[in-house]
Every structure is written in C-alpha cells, then in structure tokens.
Structure 1
Amino acid sequence: MLSRSLFVTVVLTSIISGCGPDTGGRVGVTGTVTFQGKPLDNGNIQFDAVDGSGMTGAPITNGEYSVPAETGVLPGDYTVRVSKAGEDAAAPKPVEGEAPGDPGAFSPREEVIPEEYNLQSKLTTQLTGEKANVFDVDIP
C-alpha cells in the first residue's frame, strides 16, 4: 500500500510541477521566413515587446528560426523585425585614410530586407502561453 501511495505522489508531483525546465513564464516561438517567394537563406528575426518590457531573437537559417522558451519572452504583443546583410557585408572594406581597427574603418552593411519589415516594421504578433507560438513571415 505504501509503494502505491508513493507512486501516486510522484506522478501527481510530476504533473503539477511539469517535466520541462523552468522558463519563468517565458514562451518560445518558431516559424519560417520567405523573401521574394523563397526561404530566406540567412538573417535574423527579432521580437520587441510593444510595451518595451523585453525582446528576443534568433538566427534564420534556410528559411527557419526557433526561439526556445528558455531564451524567449513573456506573453504579450510584439513588433517583429527581420534583417539580412547584403552580400558585400562579409568582406568589410577599409575606409581610405583611417587606421585598421578604427570604428569607422569598415563600410556600412547594406540591409537587404525592406524597412517596413525591418527598422520601420509593421509586422506584429501576439505570443501566448496557451499554445505553441508559430509566426511565419512572407516578405514580397
């Protein structure tokens, strides 16, 4: 009888406490990103809380991203920003007349993603703790 009570106690404790890591109420989000009809090969996605309370992000690889709950954000409304550096960003060019290592010694990175999906993003989503958060982005 004692072992049966112990078993029931262990099972109930596992159910109540959950089996996953404590995320402090943070939630994750996953999704896909397409650009001009194709999966975005690489870039970054960022979720900024509308109320300024937090932000998170993840790299985009082969059109997919994943933010685990452990590094996620609290449920709420978010502005979503997508960025991708232009092809010339991989090899910064020294600026003539400046010493190597100077902050201005490299040409600025060209942003490939249009401003309405980046700096001036109009993309928004609501992340909840009630279900898996999936947010797909299609940038024309």
Structure 2
Amino acid sequence: MRSRCCRPRAASLGLVFGVLLFSGCGGTLDNTTHVSGTVTFDGKPLPAGMIVFEPDPAKGNRGQQGHADIKDGRFDTRSSGKGVAIGPQVVRITGGDGANPEPFTPFGKLLFEEHTVRLDVSKEPSAFQLDVPSPKHKKK
C-alpha cells in the first residue's frame, strides 16, 4: 500500500518540474520577437531561399534561433513559428532561382554562396530590407 500513496506525490513533483523546465524559469519567450522583410539579389527580389537569424555570441547574445523561407523576395518568421532572440544577430541567407526544386536543392539552382550580415533585432516589430550583392560586384 505504501508504494501506491507515493505515486501521486511523485507524479505531482514530475508535473511541477516539467512546467518549470518548459516555462524556461525566466521567461525566454519574452526575449523573442518576429521579424519580416524583403531580400533582393542584385537588386531584384530573391526568388526562393531561407533566412536564419542566430544570436551573435561574440556580442553576448544568446537565445532562440529564428528562421523563415524566402519566397518572391519576402520572408516572415511567423510562417515558421520560430521567433528571433532580441539583440545582435548573425543573419545567414541562402538563395536560389526557385526553378525545379528537389529534395537536395529545395530552392532550385543556388545563385550565390551563403551570404552573412550582422544586425540588431529590437523588441518592436521589425521589417528588414536586405540585399545580397551579385558576386560580380563583390570585392576580392
């Protein structure tokens, strides 16, 4: 009989621990926001791609990584459900021509090597306008 009376107590402790674990014990969700915007390549809307926002550890930022697909030059992290940590970010953009997507080339033929920029994300809703320069315009 003794083992039966302890099971509800153990279950309750497990539930409390689980709630604390998944709540973040500090409100990590308060430190995220959604961002949207446009991405151009060589001055034209990027047909297809992905944008990833990573908190910049070199500037002391930590938190959730956010991402979104880019379609016809537009992105919004609400579509992926992955908000972005507030603060300095390393932003990585991958893009393709959008033609003939396949499992290993979901954005079609790649138009450029991964493009990286650094920027700050604030708590207020942010819309970014990012341009990926053509490789022929990059300095060597």
| Bin of the TM-score, shorter chain as denominator length | 0.5 to 0.7
Which letter does structure 2 place at the counterpart of 1:127? Answer: V
Deviation at 1:71, TM superposition (A): 2.3
Alignment of 1:23-38 (within 5 A): 24-25=29-30, 26-38=32-44
Q: Decide whether aligned partners of structure 1 residues 127 and 39 sit closer, same or farther in structure 2, where only a CA change above 3 A counts.
A: same
Specify whether residues 61 and 110 from structure 1 end up closer, same or farther in structure 2 by C-alpha distance, changes over 3 A only. closer
Secondary structure at the counterpart of residue 128 of structure 2: coil
Runs of 5+ unmatched residues, structure 1: 1-21, 93-105
More strand by share: 2
CA distance in 1, matches of 2:52, 2:89: 9
Deviation at 1:112, TM superposition (A): 2.1
Structure 2 counterpart of 1:136, one-letter code: Q
Q: Secondary structure at the match of 1:138?
A: strand
* TM value normalised by structure 2: 0.58
In the superposition, the TM-score normalised over structure 1's length comes to 0.58
Taking only the aligned residue pairs, the percentage that are identical comes to 28
Structure 2: runs of 5+ lacking an equivalent: 1-26, 134-140
C-alpha change, 1:89 and 1:68, in structure 2 (3 Å) is same
**1:53 match: secondary structure:** coil
Taking structure 1 as reference, are residues 64 and 110 closer, same or farther at Cα in structure 2, changes over 3 Å only? closer
How many angstroms apart in 1 are the aligned matches of 2:122 and 2:74?
20
Aligned length: 99
Amino acid at match of 1:34: T
Residue by residue over 1:64-118, the C-alpha shift from the partner in whole angstroms, topping out at 9 and shown as x without a partner, is 10112952022111011111246787357xxxxxxxxxxxxx79x8642234x1x
Q: Distance in 2 between matches of 1:60 and 1:66?
A: 8
Q: In structure 2, how many angstroms separate the alpha carbons of the residues matched to 1:47 and 1:54?
A: 9
On the 8 A contact 1:32/1:136 being kept in 2, the answer is yes
Greater helix share, 1 or 2? 2
Amino acid in structure 2 at the alignment position of 1:45 = I
Residue 39 of structure 1 is matched in structure 2 by 45
